[in-house]
Structure 1
């Protein structure tokens, strides 16, 4: 294990590990059920994700990528906003893809099952970087008897480190720090560090 952490509410948990000398970030997400809170949550999610080439973000996002394809029925409270914010604030900036849908573009399947009203939706998702997608050999939903959510199982191959896939040193363009968007996000990250870090420990 290289690093780990979470937000103050326990809705975001991440761990950075090393496998075959390759750093991999695993992030688990439990998004709020209320739409307004969920949209705010997605706007802050990016700040908790360490940077690396191998990234997997999964969990209960409490929204569907496609309301027509990923819900058994539409209702008055159907959310048409929060997934767009998730894409804009997290998925697109990190160049991630929704692995199951990319592997199975037409398959109709649901991960959440509400007995009230016989309602079903696919709100449990896994996003990964391109190298994760290319090394995925299986992804599937598996029913869990004690839960109203199905498990989402992802199987990937992690190749041995070679000169070809070795990480090269990255040098930041110093002009980036002059951008207003960078400064705004930096201040938000800094506030998170100050509010969550234990400054009394040497670990």
Structure 2
């Protein structure tokens, strides 16, 4: 089970607070930590924090005058296949494959304004309709991002190709339209997840593998093209003059 902890820490720039966090993490089972209100506003703050936690991959949206900053830290034993932040210190996310399932964890700082707090505790029917529209839009955007990331990869090594093959299958599962089988060039039809991942990985390896060009084909290609005589060659080399 993947253990995720979210905490509004209210400032993490001092060595004392970082030491307390390290001590707490040693005693608390966890895999992913989501922190908000970091009060980190400079790159040097983030560099110091990363040096204090070398066993984690860290993605951080530094704080601004309107937001205190957010951060995601995950143990390095997990492969991060994507990560990003917003420029306003409000959101940071990472994407991993965990037990063949694509998981996105987001650390967000979005405190409600006074007017929004009333709507949150006393929602109207129209508010609920709007929330459903927002939920569907978020789901659609995440689906598009996953698809674009997978389709846009080129010349990946075997490990990366395997990860993206897993992501493709996991993404399909999440849409409740699971791929039932793939055609393996030697095994024929395969249906297990392991065999399908192997088939997909091999396909992308072959697709992006460096292939040698057979230059002997050039002679055949240019065989019927007459050679240039010197006069024509000289004309082609001349500067173009407009008259």
Category of TM-score, reference length = shorter chain: 0.3 to 0.5
Greater helix fraction, Structure 1 or Structure 2: 2
Q: Which structure is higher in RCO with an 8 Å CA cutoff and minimum separation 6?
A: 1
TM-score normalised by the chain length of structure 1: 0.36
Greater strand fraction, Structure 1 or Structure 2: 1
